[in-house]
Amino acid sequence: MRALQSLKIVETGLSAAVDAVLPPRCVVTGGVVDRQGMIDPQVWRDLSFISDPVCDCCGFPFEFDVGPGSLCVSCLSSRPVYASARAALVYNDLSRNLILRFKYADQTHAAHAFIPWLKRVGGDMLGRADYIVPVPLHSFRLLRRRYNQAALIAQTLGKSCELPYLPQALKRQRPTPSQGKMDYKDRQKNVRNAFSVLPRYESCLQGKTIVLVDDVYTTGATVKECTKALLKAGAKEVHVLAVVRVVRAQ
Ligand SMILES: [Zn+2]
């Protein structure tokens, strides 16, 4: 315990030291701002936050309020395996830039900027959750990128909500090709049975409610496969929380 506390003091001290040496930069534009994790006020208004009304299941934003509990066309024709999904921002040039910088430029402090957004859209699911689990990266990709951005967001969110975070519960069983240009069908094929729960986590997941965290929700193919693995291992329900969501007309 004391070791943990000392580590915390060292971490806090390090973060203060880094802040003192490097000026805090906006996680979207890279411009200098007042404090770490802050967004340049000039770009703030161009970020497109998702708010109600949304599909009760997948969180697809509706143009008009169609009443509580309404489902989108896609969820009506095929209900996803997860209980619900929500995302903070619509995918556009700006949010794409935000995620790319976060992914490849070691903008790890950006995770802190995402937390209030995720808490706003994911309040209900976080209130019911027993655990937070990130979508895993395969170890090859982890080596190249040095960290898993979904795990970093999940860890920061877990700390902030005082929810246990299980970074290794889900495992990517095989490397899957990057999904950049794939459509939903190809993505579905690409990730089919790609995930499993490590046996040592099965007992703690029994009957539990999980919030599965990812940086971007594109077609939902990856999070649906992760959900299947968690449910198969005994979880009661899985909710998905992402920073950015691709919104295509249905
Ligand atoms: Zn939906």
What is the 55 CA–ligand 1 centroid distance (Å)?
5
Q: Residue 211 maps to which CATH number?
A: 3.40.50
Compute the distance from residue 133 Cα to the ligand 1 centre, in Å: 22
Count of domains in the chain? Answer: 1
Q: Is residue 132 part of a domain?
A: yes
pLDDT tens sequence across 156-165? 999 999 999 9
Task: Name the residue range of residue 164's domain.
Answer: 47-245
* pLDDT value at 1 more than 50: no
Cα-to-centroid distance, 127 and ligand 1 (Å)? 21
Q: Are 147 and 108 a contacting pair, CB within 8 Å?
A: yes
Give the least confident one: 88-97, 173-182, 225-234: 173-182
CA of 54 to the centre of ligand 1 (A): 8
Find the 120 Cα to ligand 1 centroid distance in Å.
19
Q: Is residue 121 assigned to a domain?
A: yes
C-alpha 14 – ligand 1 centre gap (Å): 43
- pLDDT, the chain, mean: 85
In a domain, 237, yes or no: yes
Query: Does residue 155 fall inside a structural domain?
Result: yes
**Which residues fall within 8 angstroms of residue 158, CB to CB, at 6 or more apart?**
132, 164, 165
Q: 92 CA to middle of ligand 1, Å?
A: 20
In a domain, 97, yes or no: yes
Query: Is residue 216 domain-resident?
Result: yes
Residue 35 in domain? no
* Position with higher pLDDT, 16 vs 65: 65
Q: Would residue 31 count as lying in a domain?
A: no
The 10s digit of each residue's pLDDT in 4-58 is: 444 444 444 545 554 556 777 777 777 888 877 677 877 778 889 999 999 999 9
Q: Output the pLDDT for position 146.
A: 61
Residue 193 pLDDT grade (very low, low, confident, very high; cuts 50, 70, 90): confident
Confidence band, pLDDT 50/70/90 cuts, at residue 145: low
pLDDT score recorded for residue 35: 75
Q: Tell me what pLDDT residue 12 has.
A: 46
pLDDT in tens, 205-238: 999 999 999 999 998 999 999 999 999 999 999 9
Q: Give the pLDDT of residue 147.
A: 67
- Pick from 86-95, 139-148, 173-182 the range whose average pLDDT is largest: 86-95
Residue % of the chain over a pLDDT of 70 = 85
pLDDT of residue 124: 96
